[in-house]
Amino acid sequence: MKKLVLAAVAALAFGTAVAAAPLKIGVAAEPYPPFTSPDASGNWVGWEVDFLGAICKQAALDCVITPTAWDGIIPALTSGQIDIIMSSMSITAERAKTIDFSDKYYNTPAMVMVAKDSTITPDAAGLTGKIVGVQVSTTHEAYTQKYFAPVAQEVKTYQTQDEANQDLAAGRLDAVMADSIALQAFLDSDAGKACCKSAGNVKSDPAILGAGVGFGVRKGDPVLAKLNDAIKAVRADGTYAAITAKYFPFDIYGE
Amino acid sequence: MQDFLKPHRIVLILIAAGLVTWCVLSLNWTWLAEPKYQVLILQGIWRTLWILVVTMVVGMVLAIPIGLAQAAGPWYLAWPARIFCTVIRGTPLLMQLWLLYYGLGSLFPSIPWIKDSALWPYLRQAWPFAVVALSLSVAGYEGEVMRGAFKGVPHGQLEAAKSMGMPAFTMFRRIWLPQALQRVLPTLGGETVSQLKSTPLVSTITIMDIYAVTGRIRQDTFIIYEPLLLLAVVYMVITGLIVLMFRWFESRTPTRTA
Amino acid sequence: MTGLEALSAASALDLLAFSPPGWGAVLLAGLANSVVIALGAYALGFGIGIGGAFGKLYGGPILKDLLAVYTTIVRAVPELVLILILFYAFTGLLNEALLSWGYDRVQISPIITGIVVLGVVQGAYQTEVLRGGILAVPAGQIEAARAMGMPSVVVARRIILPLMTANALPGLANLWLNATKDTALLAVIGFSELTKATYQASATTKAFFVFYPAAMLLYLGISLTSTLLIGRIEKWARRGQRDVRG
Q: Do A166 and C203 touch (CB under 8 A)?
A: yes
For testing the chain C interface, which of A24, A32, A37, A41 should be mutated: the one with the most C CBs within 10 Å? A41
Spell out which chain A residues touch chain B, with contact meaning CB-CB distance below 8 angstroms. Answer: 71-72, 74-75, 78-79, 95, 97-98, 136-137, 156-159, 163, 166-167, 169-172
Residues from chain B that touch A79, judged by Cβ atoms under 8 A, are 224
Q: What is the CATH number of the domain that holds A125?
A: 3.40.190.10
B215-249 pLDDT tens trace: 888 878 877 788 999 999 999 999 999 999 998 88
Distance between CA atoms of C129 and A108, rounded to whole angstroms?
57
* Residues A231, A105 contacting (CB under 8 angstroms): yes
State chain B's mean pLDDT as an integer.
89
Q: Do B95 and C224 touch (CB under 8 A)?
A: no
Q: Which domain holds residue A196?
A: 110-209
C81-98 pLDDT tens trace: 988 888 777 777 777 788
Residues 6+ apart with CB under 8 A from A168: A113, A114, A115, A133, A174, A175, A176, A195, A196
Distances (CA, A) of C163 to C54, C158, C238: 14, 9, 9
CATH 1.20.1630.10 fits C2-237, yes or no: no
A200-217 pLDDT tens trace: 999 888 888 888 899 999
For testing the chain B interface, which of A132, A136, A144, A190 should be mutated: the one with the most B CBs within 10 Å? A136
Q: Strand pairing of A175-179 and A84-85?
A: unpaired
The answer to the question of residue B167 being in a domain is yes
Q: Which domain holds residue B113?
A: 48-252
Nearest CB partner across the interface for B216, out of A72, A78, A136:
A136
Residue A115 shares a structural domain with residue A167: yes
Chain centroid to Cα B97, Å, comes to 14
Give the per-residue pLDDT at B6: 80
pTM value is 0.82
User: CB contact, 8 Å: C13 with chain A?
Assistant: no
Distance between CA atoms of A176 and A166, rounded to whole angstroms?
10
Domain ranges of chain C: 2-237
Q: Do C78 and B6 touch (CB under 8 A)?
A: no
Give the per-residue pLDDT at B255: 62
Residues from chain B that touch C198, judged by Cβ atoms under 8 A, are 95, 98
Lowest mean pLDDT among A1-15, A121-135, B91-105, C153-167: A1-15
Under the banding of pLDDT at 50, 70 and 90, the label for residue C243 is: low
Helix axes A223-236, A47-58, angle to 10 degrees: 110
pLDDT of residue A140 exceeding 60, the answer is yes
Residue B109 distance to chain A (closest CA, Å): 6
A33 upstream amide cis, omega within 30 of 0 = no
pLDDT of residue B1 exceeding 80, the answer is no
For testing the chain A interface, which of B43, B104, B106, B201 should be mutated: the one with the most A CBs within 10 Å? B106
Domain total in chain A: 2
User: CB contact, 8 Å: A236 with chain C?
Assistant: no
Lowest mean pLDDT among A219-233, C53-67, C159-173: C159-173
User: CB contact, 8 Å: C198 with chain A?
Assistant: no
Q: Do B204 and C195 touch (CB under 8 A)?
A: no
How many beta carbons lie within 10 A of that of residue B75, not counting itself?
A: 9
pLDDT of residue C5 exceeding 50, the answer is no
Give the per-residue pLDDT at A194: 86
The answer to the question of residue B33 being in a domain is no
State chain C's mean pLDDT as an integer.
85
Distance between CA atoms of C102 and A255, rounded to whole angstroms?
44
Provide the residue type at B69 as one letter: A
pLDDT of residue A6 exceeding 60, the answer is no
Q: Which spans in chain C are helix H? A: 2-5, 9-15, 24-58, 61-76, 79-100, 110-135, 139-147, 152-154, 161-182, 194-205, 208-237
Q: Do C88 and B87 touch (CB under 8 A)?
A: no
Residue A86 shares a structural domain with residue A22: yes
The answer to the question of residue B26 being in a domain is no
Q: Do A72 and C88 touch (CB under 8 A)?
A: yes
Give the per-residue pLDDT at A19: 44
Distances (CA, A) of B82 to B62, B104, B134, B161, C181: 14, 23, 18, 28, 19
Domain total in chain B: 1
Minimum Cα–Cα distance from C103: chain A residue: A1
Burial label for C11, CB within 10 Å (0-12, 13-18, 19+), is: middle
Residue C73 distance to chain B (closest CA, Å): 7
Q: What is the CATH number of the domain that holds B125?
A: 1.10.3720.10
Residue A133 distance to chain C (closest CA, Å): 17
* Phi, psi angles (nearest 5°) of residue C189: -95, 20
Sign of the dihedral through C-alpha B153, B157, B158, B159? positive
Summarize the confidence of residues C138-146 as an average pLDDT.
88
For testing the chain A interface, which of B206, B211, B220 should be mutated: the one with the most A CBs within 10 Å? B206
Rounded to two decimals, the ipTM of the complex is: 0.85
Sign of the dihedral through C-alpha B66, C198, C213, A134? positive
* Residues B209, B48 contacting (CB under 8 angstroms): yes
Of the spans A107-121, A161-175, C39-53, C147-161, which averages the highest pLDDT?
C39-53
Residue A52 shares a structural domain with residue A143: no
Summarize the confidence of residues B149-156 as an average pLDDT.
89
pLDDT of residue A85 exceeding 90, the answer is yes
* Phi, psi angles (nearest 5°) of residue B197: -75, -15
A32-82 pLDDT tens trace: 888 998 887 778 999 999 999 999 999 999 999 988 878 778 888 988 888
Higher pLDDT: C20 or C175? It is: C175
pLDDT of residue C6 exceeding 50, the answer is no
Under the banding of pLDDT at 50, 70 and 90, the label for residue A196 is: very high
Helix axes C110-135, C79-100, angle to 10 degrees: 120
* Phi, psi angles (nearest 5°) of residue A135: -80, 140
Residue A178 shares a structural domain with residue A230: no
Residue A217 shares a structural domain with residue A188: no
